[in-house]
Structure formats: C-alpha cells, structure tokens
Amino acid sequence: MADTPLGQRIDRLGLPAGLLLGAAGGVLAGVALGYLPGWAAVLSGGAVLATAAAVGWAGRPIDGGEAAAGSGPLWGAGGALALALAVAGWSLRPMPPPDAPDGGAADSAATDAGAPDAQADAGAPDAQADAAPDAARADGGPIDAAPPPPDAAPTPDAAPTPPDGGPVPTVEQVRALMDAWDLEGARAALQRLPKSAQTVALSKALGALDREVVRWQASLTDARADLRAGRPKEARQQAFALMNELVIRGYPLLGDFARKALALYVEADAAERARSLESLLQYAQKAVAQGDLQRARALYQKAVAVDGTHAGAHAGLGRVALLAGQHAAAVEHLGVAVRLAPDQPEYRVLLSMALRALERSAEADAYLQQALGANSLELEARRRLSRDAQRLGQDDVVQRLEPRGPTGGR
C-alpha cells in the first residue's frame, strides 16, 4: 500500500506527526510538573489533540483495507522523543528548600539560599524590601499586607535633612523673615537653600535691605551728633523723619531701629522743650523787669504749656499775678511752685507776700520764717524780693529781707 498514493501520503505524514506529537507531549509534561504557565498547557493540549486527529486521519483504513503501516515506527520515535522531553522538563524544574511549606515559596527561598551575594546583603534595607513580597506569598496572604522594614530607606517625597538636623527652609520662609526685617535669620536660611534663580533674587533683595539698614544707622549717628552739639531741633527732625520711613517700609514697631529712633526723638524733643522753656523764662523775667506784666504773663503761660511740672514757670505766673493785684491766683500758682520745689526759699517768700495781701498773716509768717530760717537766700534774690515787697507796701517783709551780718546787725 506504500506504493499507492495513499500510502505515500501516510508515510509523508508519519514523521512530522510523530515529531509534533512528541514535542507536544514534552511540553504538556513540563506544564504538568509546573515548569510552564497555564496558558502554554492549554496550547500544548490542543496541539496534541490536533496531531492525534491528523495522524488518525492519515492512518485510517482505505477502501476497507488495513491501516497505513509505514507510519508505525515513526510514531514510536515520536513517543520516545516525548518521553525524553518530559524527563528533561522534570529535571529542570525549580527545587524547593527542605523546610519550604509549598512549591510557591520555594522559588524565593531557593534563590535567596543559593546566592552568596544575597546572603551577604541579607541585612541591607533593599534585600529586606525585596524579600517582603516572597514572604507574603509563603504565608498565603496578599503582598500589600507585608509590613515595611523598620529601617527602610526614606521615600522620594521625604524632605532632605540639612547637616544641622533641622528642616530645610523654603523660599517662602526666607521671604517672611525678610518681611519681618529679621535679616540675620533670612541670611542664615538663604545660605542653606540650593542656588537657583529665586535664591539669587532673594540674595539681591537682602543686599538692598542691608544697605537700607546702613543708611538708617548713619541717620541715627547724625541725629545724636546734632543733639550733643546743642541742636535738639535738628536732632528731633532727623529722628522723626527716620520713624516715618520705618513705618512706611513696614519695619516692626518694636524692632531695634524703631526703638532707637523713638528714644532719640523723645530725648531730642525734651532737650528742645527745655531749651525753649529756658528761653521763655528768660524773656518773661525781662518783661517783668520792664513792667510789662501782660507780656510776662503770656510768656509764663507758654512755659507752663511746654512743661506743666516746671516750678519756675508756676512761680513766675504767681509773681506776675501778685504784682498785678490778683492775690488769689498768686496764692494758687505759688502754692503749686512750693509743692514742686519745696527746697526753693524764694517761692515761699512770694507765697508769704500773697497770703499777707489776703490778710492771712499767720500762714504768711510761717512761710516767711521757713524761708529765712534756712538762710539760703542769695543776695540777688533778697534784693529782687525786697523790691517786690516795696511795690506791695509790705515794709515789714522788706526789713526782714535785708541782709544781716554774722552778729545780727545790719
């Protein structure tokens, strides 16, 4: 039959059919032993069925005759090849460790146990992190359930740590320090940031603020120099201008420059007021000497407005009121002067005159005795008070104000 066309067809199909069947059998055996994935098992099973169908069709009896005889030995060769492939697949399968609970965990355990490098790096965070999923498979749980190692490396989102151990400042924090005029803090924070376009711009802005501080320091120095040179008005003006600029620039009111400028302004203003007060008192005394009581009263009132606690200004107002015949007003202002400066005997003598004019002789004698008993009235003051007593017609006061010698004689 092999000489017939049908027999030739069977002989031609016998060899490839046997080889294909053997290969498919080997693949199927390897899959059965866990060497190939499941989808390969399905394909190989289909290939075996197709090959068997093809060979069966090729070797079917023809016209009631016997089956094709030329393909039998070839089928045997294919079966031998299938057995050889099956043995090879079984021998190449991964071998589980002795203590592995199942075949799935054998992969990672055998790999870790057979690699010297993996054993050497077993304590490293990366090796522990790589071993965590396999350990989860060995326990039968999900991979995500494995806890992270305690010394795992930081995630990429974690902020880097500077050498001093504190958090790395941000550009916004540096700007906030500059807005608060904490230039030293801003400079220290800026030095810890990596160089970029933003940090370069911030460095330039910080330099401009440093120059402002130098200029403010020069203004304070000039103002102090004016105050020491007896120019309180100029010093006060410079301090006031500096305070205005600090407010405009948003400088903290409790900052160093603000406190220094305010202290200088107060000092210069007090010095200017004192200077102005002394000038007012000098002009008022000249007006009294010239008999211009109205102008003298106006000047003393200005002096009281400048410094309401100045005893000399109140005493001047009392003296003017006494000489003008306003005895009640004189007692009021002279009483204030005595309370503000109890160690000034001249104010007590004037108060004694005002009380005597109101016919309050007992009080008047007491104040006069206190003033003269201290024996601290200067000669010029005695003469000035004697002239006032003469103008008021108080001769007994004039006599008691006359200077006496060491023995009590005139």
Q: Convert the pLDDT of each residue in 283-297 to its tens digit.
A: 999 999 898 999 999
Residue 132 maps to a domain: no
Contact 112, 118 (CB under 8 A): yes
200: containing domain: 171-271
Number of domains in the chain: 3
pLDDT, greater one: 92 or 132: 92
Domain contains 99: no
Kindly report the number of other CB atoms within 10 A of residue 27's CB atom: 23
Does residue 123 sit within a domain? no
For residue 299, is it within any domain? no
Question: Based on the domain organization, do 312 and 259 belong to the same domain?
Answer: no
Residues 264 and 178 in one domain: yes
**H/E element holding 303?**
helix 293-306
What is the pLDDT, as a whole number, of residue 120? Answer: 37
Q: What is the mean pLDDT of residues 291-307?
A: 92
Please indicate, yes or no, whether residues 363 and 316 belong to a single structural domain of this protein: yes
- Alpha-carbon distance of 219 to 225, in angstroms, equals 10
Instruction: For the chain, give the mean pLDDT.
Output: 73
pLDDT of residue 274: 83
The string of pLDDT tens digits covering residues 73-117 is: 555 555 556 555 655 555 555 555 544 444 444 344 334 434 334
pLDDT digits (tens, 9 = 90+) for 335-367: 999 999 999 999 999 999 999 999 999 999 999
Q: Are residues 186 and 266 in the same domain?
A: yes
pTM of the model: 0.45
Q: Give percent of the chain above pLDDT 70.
A: 57
Say whether both 175 and 260 belong to one domain. yes
Buried/exposed code over 313-343 (b: 16+ C-beta within 10 A; e: otherwise): bbbbbbbbbbbeebbebbbebbbbbbebbee
What pLDDT, in 10s, does the model give residues 316-332?
A: 999 999 999 999 999 99
Task: For residue 388, give the CATH number of its domain.
Answer: 1.25.40.10
Domain boundary residue, one of 217, 246, 271: 271
Best CA proximity match to 128, nearest among 111, 110, 148, 142: 148
Q: Which of 225, 245, 271 is the last residue of a domain?
A: 271
Taking the C-alpha atoms of residue 284 and residue 46, their distance in angstroms, rounded to an integer, is: 130
Whether 236 shows a pLDDT value over 80: the answer reads: yes
Task: Label residue 168 by pLDDT band (50, 70, 90).
Answer: confident
Has residue 388 been placed in a domain?
Answer: yes
